Amino acid sequence: MTKIILDTDIGADCDDVGALMLLHSLCGKGEAEFLAATHCTSRASGLGALSAVNIACGREVPLGSYPRPGMQDDGTVDRYAAQLAAEFPTRYPVGVPQPDAAQVTSQALEEQPDASVTLCAIGPMTNLAYYLEDASLTDLIARKVRRLVAMAGCFTPGGAPEWNVASDIPAAVRVADAWPTPIVWVPFEVGEPVQTGAPLARRKDHPAPRAYALFHGGTFHQRSSWDPIAVHIAVRGNQPWWSLSAPGRVTVDPDGSTRFSPEEGGPHRYAIARGEAMKVAQDLNRLL
C-alpha cells in the first residue's frame, strides 16, 4: 500500500479532479492510503473544491493551502473550483480559515515511518519550494518521503515550457536544485495524448463530472491525463504503461524549459510512454 500526500492546483484544469478520483479509486482497492491533500495556489476556492470531491467520495483527509497571497488568485485561473465549493457540501466554503499546507504536510509526515510516503505534486511547485524554506520540514521530508512524483516538465526537443513549471519558475528551479529525495518527473508529452474521464459522466449530482463540464464551457468532455497518470505512477509505479529514464538531473532554465542530463546515481528520472494512448486511456477509465 502506497502512503500518499497529494499537492494540487485544483481549479485550473479538470484533470486534477480526474487524478483525485483515481486516487480515491486506488484507495478503495486497498492500494493507497490517502494521508493528506494540499492546494498550491492562493485561490480561496481550492480547499472548498478539494473537500467537496472528498466528501462526495466518502473519504476525507486533512487539507491545507499555500498561505501567501499572489499565486494565481486574481480570478483568471479558476475554471470551476469556486462553483464546486458553492454547489456541493464542503468543509471549506470561501471565507473559512484554511490550514497552512506546510503544517498539514508536516503533521502527516511525522506520523509515518521513515521513507514510507510518496508525495505526488500535480500543480506548480509553489508549496514544495515553500516547504524548503523551513530547514526542519526539509529534514522531515528527507527522512519520511520515499520519492516525489511530479507532473512537470517537457523533455521533447524543442517543446514549450510546461504549465506547472512555467506558472512558478523560481519554485521549480528551487525544487529541481534542492529537493532532498528522488524525483520522478511525469512530463507533458506522456499525458497529452491520453484522453480520459468518460466514466465520470455517469455520476449524478457529483462534483467530478461538474468540474469537467465547467472546464469545457458547460458540456462534459474527456481531458488529457497528465495528472491522473502522475497519480497512477505514484501508487502503482511505472508498470505497465511507462518506463523510466536512466538516472540523471533535471535543470529548469530561466524561461521554464526543462533539460535532463544523464548522471550516474542522479536523483531524477522521468517517465516515458511505452503503451498505446488508447489502451492506457481504457485502463485509467476502468479505474475511474
pLDDT for residue 92: 97
Q: Residue-wise pLDDT tens for the chain (288 aa)?
A: 999 999 999 999 999 999 999 999 999 999 999 999 999 999 999 999 999 999 999 999 999 999 999 999 998 999 999 999 999 999 999 889 999 999 999 999 999 999 999 999 999 999 999 999 999 999 999 999 999 999 999 999 988 999 999 999 999 999 999 999 999 999 999 999 999 999 999 999 999 999 999 999 999 999 999 999 999 999 999 989 999 999 999 999 999 999 999 999 999 999 999 999 999 999 999 999
For the chain, the structural domain boundaries read 2-287
* Fold for the domain defined by 2-287: Inosine-uridine Nucleoside N-ribohydrolase; Chain A (3.90.245)
Q: Which residues contact 271 (CB under 8 A, 6 or more apart)?
A: 184, 185, 186, 187, 190, 229, 233, 238, 242, 243, 244, 245
The pLDDT of residue 85 is: 96
Strands 183-186, 195-196: pairing is: unpaired
- Whole-angstrom Cα distance, residue 48 to residue 208? 13
Q: Which three cell numbers stand for residue 65?
A: 493551502
pLDDT of residue 255: 97
Q: Give the bridge partners for 149, in sequence order.
A: 120, 184
- Return the pLDDT at 261: 97
Q: What is the pLDDT of residue 55?
A: 98
Q: Look up the pTM and report it.
A: 0.98
pLDDT at 241: 96
Q: Check: CB of residue 260 under 8 Å from CB of residue 248.
A: yes
Closest listed residue to residue 69, CA positions, set 96, 42, 101: 42
Which pLDDT score is estimated for 239?
87
On the question of a cis peptide bond just before residue 240, with omega within 30 degrees of 0, the verdict is yes
Query: In the numeric block, which cell numbers belong to residue 132?
Result: 524548503
Q: What is the largest CA-CA distance in the chain?
A: 51
Rounded to whole angstroms, the Cα distance separating 202 from 130 reads 38
Per-residue pLDDT of 150-181, as tens digits, reads: 999 999 998 899 999 999 999 999 999 999 99
**Please, are residues 35 and 61 in contact by the beta-carbon 8 Å criterion?**
yes
pLDDT of residue 75: 87
